[in-house]
Amino acid sequence: MPIKTHHYSNGEITITWKPELCIHSGICFKGLAPVFDPRRTPWIDMGQSDTKTIMGQVKKCPSGALSYAINEKDK
């Protein structure tokens, strides 16, 4: 079965979250709670911080559940 993925974009980057890989370590919401808040739906709000900070936090995800890609600029 394909792994389910969710995407969240702020126009500059797109975060991909794979719930099956998430080990609920809490590192993302302890590190950047305004963006990563599991009590909220959707739980990731890209408008709550800047791109660089969000990218830094995504890199700390220990399971690979979170990743990001830089969006292609419109030509």
Q: Does 13 bind ligand SF4 (CB under 6 A)?
A: no
Please name every residue paired with 17 in a beta bridge, in sequence order, or none if there are none: 6, 66
Q: Which of residues 21-40 bind ligand SF4 (CB under 6 A)?
A: 22-28
Query: From the CB of 75, what's the least distance to ligand SF4, in Å?
Result: 33
Query: From the CB of 12, what's the least distance to ligand SF4, in Å?
Result: 20
Neighbours of 58 (CB within 10 A): 22
Q: Does 5 bind ligand SF4 (CB under 6 A)?
A: no
Neighbours of 24 (CB within 10 A): 11
